[in-house]
Amino acid sequence: MDLSFEKRWRDLVNQLTKRFDAGTLDLNAILFLIGIQELGQHAREFKKDEKVNLMHIGICVVLVPFGYYKEVGRDADGWPHFERVQELPALGGDEQERLMKEAVLAYFEVA
């Protein structure tokens, strides 16, 4: 177990949880928040399909620096669209979660 990584993740979760006063956030909730941030529209209620799209945006955005996706532009409504540049490696569940957490940590360290 990488204690340094676990501490960094726990610190980020605690920071975001306090900031949004929403109970303890998990990886999916954080990806959703990143999607909203990257969409850049005013706060509003999102439809179910929009919520799924926001999570997709969050995933793509955090994986751009890792070389897996690139942004190809925005549509007329301002929603960003991405293209996969390289296939994601075949990873087990724990490895996928670790990759996503590392990508989220990198996103917040740059942001």
Give percent of the chain with pLDDT exceeding 70.
97
Answer whether 68's CB lies under 8 Å from 85's CB.
Answer: yes
Q: Tell me the C-alpha distance between 39 and 54, whole Å.
A: 8
Question: Residue 65's pLDDT is what?
Answer: 95
pLDDT of amino acid 100: 96
Report the chain's mean pLDDT, rounded to a whole number: 92
Q: DSSP for 9-60, please give it.
A: HHHHHHHHHHHHTSSS--HHHHHHHHHHHHHTPPP----HHHHHHHHHHHHH
pLDDT > 60? residue 37: yes
Q: What's the total number of domains in the chain?
A: 1
**What's the confidence (pLDDT) of residue 22?**
75
Please answer whether residues 58 and 32 qualify as being in contact, where contact means their C-beta atoms are separated by less than 8 angstroms: yes
The pLDDT confidence band at residue 20, using thresholds 50, 70 and 90, is confident
Structural domain that includes position 77: 3-110
Identity of the amino acid at 51: K
At 83 the three-state DSSP class reads strand
pLDDT score of 10: 93
